[in-house]
A and B are shown apart, each in its own frame.
Chain A
Amino acid sequence: MTTTGFLTDSTLCIGCKACEVACKEWNQLPDDGYEWSGHSYDNTQALGHSTWRHVKFVEDTPEPAVGGNLGEQLPAWSFSSDVCKHCEVAGCLEACPTGAIVRMEFGAVFIQPDICNGCSYCVVSCPFGVVQRNEEDGRAFKCTFCSDRQRAGLKPACAQACPTESIRFGPLDELRDQAQDRLKKLAARGIEDAVIYDPTETSVEGIHALFLMRGDPRTYNLPQQPEVPTIYQKKGWTSAVIAAGSMLALALLSFLGESK
């Protein structure tokens, strides 16, 4: 099967949160409580075990004359719908000790709910802070890439509900090309600061949920250098071997003096 992906284009997003609602409805996710966060119109704040799509509301510094902002210096708004990145090399999948997290035929990273035992090691292995354990249920949850819908030949719920095609879904290579085209179109209209977020140069080796946004991706909490924690293991196990060797040697030496 072809590898599918998302291209979430922030320059088209109107912040309606239809994707968040569609995701919750299709996947039957519980609500996140009704709390005011104080962060613009965003009361969801972050992805989590019950939030698999999350619209970020970034208030940019006032730019006079942008968006009809002539007199009063009102902040400009950018929206971006965040989601699990379905990493090419996924920290969560590498870390999972039960084999509950698997790679699906269309490239998605999927947690099998009937196998997950809630060890929560994936939580500290995701460089994007996506996956989380539901403390009531005990298991870890995240975006399934609507694997059930994809298998039925349908688009994921969020992409289906998005009214502006800010969330595009399709074969990953096509989306990569479309993202480049979009950058060119935007540049032709004088928008020079748009970028594609696709960390192919790191140990994550690229993601299946691409993002296009204006400005610095870090403003949207996207790390500049996401790394799969597997890269630290060599150093760690080396240290463990040294520790084991010295402990054994020390114990033998100490008791050697005591032999009778």
Chain B
Amino acid sequence: MSHTGGRVPDYESERRLAELRQTASQTGRVEGKGVAVQGAPFPQASPADGYYGIPLLKEPQWKKEVPLYFFVGGAAGASAIIASSAGWLSADRDLVRKARWIAAAGSVLSAALLTKDLGVPSRFINMLRVFKPQSPMSMGAWTLTVFSASSVSAALANFLRAKELSAGPLILLENGSGMLAAASGLIMSSYTGVLIGATVVPVWNRHVGTLPMHFAASGLNSVVSILELMGHEDNRALNRLALAASAYEVAQGVAIESKRDRVNRPLQKGASGFIVRIGGLLSGPAPLALRIAYAVTGNKKLRRAAAVSSIAGSLLTRFGWMSAGKASAKDYALPLRPTYSKPEAPIKLHERQDRAIKTSA
């Protein structure tokens, strides 16, 4: 006979029932909590714990597409900058071509990811109904639109130029749209820091002044590494850029780790802290050390390892910040404070006793 779920009685369950029956008949009452509700015991409603410790803020509802978009869009944006700088100053046409293609492909992928995360993807076009400078999401949508159009046309012009079709107008088109792609690429790689920083989520708005720089460095670090792995591992300019980005990431890591309080906790503790820390390690200290070792020994394997590390670190960094934001919104105690970002002032024991005396007097 098949049973429809539920428990199977066993020796332990029957022993417990007999025990309950016995204490009830002997003492007239039963001790025991019964089954604790998940999460019990709950904090009492109080000024410090709020309403039973139920989070006051809503958790960010973005799914994995959004941190992925931060990574792809950041790398694509930085790629357009490299393409234009190299196109202008360097003789390496292959580097320019690859950077243009990364920017173009990344921009298309970015749009796809962002659209996929929308609750009603068919309404992406509504993003372009209004131009709203006070909304970073609106600015982002417009930036992405300009960036996609310009980076795709720059890549196409570059492709046609290589086929040695009528060069004059094509050079003009590549340079013109390339410039536009680089300009919007500068915003692409940094605005996502404003996007999450200018929200009510405590750990995000605490870092609003550094998140854009952090994400820009991360985007630069990743795309330089991608280009290196695509056959440009001898390019000195790329190595210099990667060194600078990794050095910045080291400083960023130190800044995050040096302040320990409740707001920063999701960056240091728990699952989100783990991702942020691994991401930080792979973006900053690890590639920096490897690149210095490469400079000393000239061993290209070290440089390749640095590149792989930077790419992984950059990706993890965005996922880390996303999950830190979710953890932060769940911390019920933070928005109850006079100001979100005010550091925790621990109450000393004698003060507590003072308070108890005052209230009982």
State the A residues within 8 Å of B (CB).
36-40, 45-46, 48, 56, 58-61, 91, 94-100, 115-121, 123-135, 137-140, 216, 218-221, 223-227, 229-230, 232-233, 235-240, 242-244, 246-248, 250-252, 254-260
Q: How far is the CA of A91 from the CA of B78 in the complex (A)?
A: 31
Residues 92-120 (chain B) with a chain A CB within 8 angstroms: 92, 117-120
Q: Is A236 touching B211 in the complex (CB atoms < 8 A)?
A: yes
Instruction: Provide 27 A-B residue pairs closer than 8 Å at the C-beta atoms, listed in order of the A residue.
Output: A38-B37, A39-B54, A60-B45, A95-B136, A96-B137, A97-B132, A98-B123, A115-B123, A115-B126, A117-B126, A118-B119, A120-B119, A124-B329, A129-B57, A138-B120, A216-B46, A218-B46, A219-B45, A221-B56, A221-B336, A233-B134, A238-B209, A243-B190, A244-B189, A247-B220, A258-B237, A259-B90
Contact of B56 among A38, A129, A233, A242 (CB under 8 A): A129
B25 on the interface (CB 8 Å rule)?
Answer: no
Residue of B nearest to A133 (CB): B61
Q: Is B62 touching A120 in the complex (CB atoms < 8 A)?
A: yes
Q: Is B129 touching A219 in the complex (CB atoms < 8 A)?
A: no
B86 on the interface (CB 8 Å rule)?
Answer: yes
Q: How far is the CA of A131 from the CA of B60 in the complex (A)?
A: 11
Q: Is B123 touching A117 in the complex (CB atoms < 8 A)?
A: yes
Q: How far is the CA of A224 from the CA of B335 in the complex (A)?
A: 8
Query: Given A97-B141, A243-B216, A247-B220, are A255 and B198 neighbors across the interface (CB < 8 Å)?
Result: no
What is the 8 Å Cβ interface bit string for chain B, positions 232-245, against chain A (1 contact, 0 not)?
00011110110010
Residues of A close to B299: CB separation below 8 A = none
Q: Is A243 touching B198 in the complex (CB atoms < 8 A)?
A: no
Q: Is B208 touching A236 in the complex (CB atoms < 8 A)?
A: yes
Q: Is A219 touching B51 in the complex (CB atoms < 8 A)?
A: yes
Q: How far is the CA of A257 from the CA of B235 in the complex (A)?
A: 11
Residues of A close to B238: CB separation below 8 A = 254
Q: Is B51 touching A233 in the complex (CB atoms < 8 A)?
A: no
B310 on the interface (CB 8 Å rule)?
Answer: no
What is the 8 Å Cβ interface bit string for chain B, positions 117-147, against chain A (1 contact, 0 not)?
1111101101101101011111011000000
Contact of A224 among B42, B129, B200, B337 (CB under 8 A): B337
Residue of B nearest to A235 (CB): B209
Closest chain A CB from B337 CB (angstroms) = 7
Q: Is A221 touching B60 in the complex (CB atoms < 8 A)?
A: no
Q: Is B241 touching A254 in the complex (CB atoms < 8 A)?
A: yes
Q: Is B119 touching A139 in the complex (CB atoms < 8 A)?
A: yes
With A126-B200, A254-B237 given, can you name 10 additional A-B contacts, CB distance below 8 Å? Answer: A37-B37, A58-B51, A59-B45, A117-B126, A129-B57, A218-B336, A220-B51, A236-B194, A243-B217, A247-B220
Q: How far is the CA of A56 from the CA of B56 in the complex (A)?
A: 13
Residue of B nearest to A244 (CB): B186
Q: Is B136 touching A236 in the complex (CB atoms < 8 A)?
A: yes
Q: Is B61 touching A120 in the complex (CB atoms < 8 A)?
A: yes
Residues of B close to A61: CB separation below 8 A = 44
List 7 A-B pairs, minimum CB-CB distance, nearest first.
A118-B119, A138-B119, A117-B123, A236-B194, A38-B37, A97-B138, A243-B216
Closest chain A CB from B114 CB (angstroms) = 8
Residues of B close to A220: CB separation below 8 A = 45, 50-51
Q: Is B237 touching A224 in the complex (CB atoms < 8 A)?
A: no
Q: How far is the CA of A137 from the CA of B61 in the complex (A)?
A: 13
What is the 8 Å Cβ interface bit string for chain B, positions 36-50, against chain A (1 contact, 0 not)?
010110101111101
Q: How far is the CA of A95 from the CA of B133 in the complex (A)?
A: 10
Q: Is A230 touching B134 in the complex (CB atoms < 8 A)?
A: yes
Residue of B nearest to A39 (CB): B52
Q: Is A118 touching B118 in the complex (CB atoms < 8 A)?
A: yes
B1 on the interface (CB 8 Å rule)?
Answer: no
Q: Is B201 touching A124 in the complex (CB atoms < 8 A)?
A: yes
Residues of B close to A236: CB separation below 8 A = 136, 193-194, 197-198, 208-209, 211-212
Residues of A close to B50: CB separation below 8 A = 218-221
B156 on the interface (CB 8 Å rule)?
Answer: no
Contact of A218 among B47, B55, B197, B329 (CB under 8 A): B47
Contact of B120 among A45, A116, A257 (CB under 8 A): A116
Residue of A nearest to B335 (CB): A223
Q: Is B190 touching A244 in the complex (CB atoms < 8 A)?
A: yes
Q: Is A248 touching B186 in the complex (CB atoms < 8 A)?
A: yes
Q: Is A229 touching B132 in the complex (CB atoms < 8 A)?
A: no
Residues of B close to A129: CB separation below 8 A = 55-58
Q: Is A38 touching B241 in the complex (CB atoms < 8 A)?
A: no
Residue of A nearest to B50 (CB): A221
Residues of A close to B340: CB separation below 8 A = 225, 227
Q: How far is the CA of A144 from the CA of B58 in the complex (A)?
A: 18
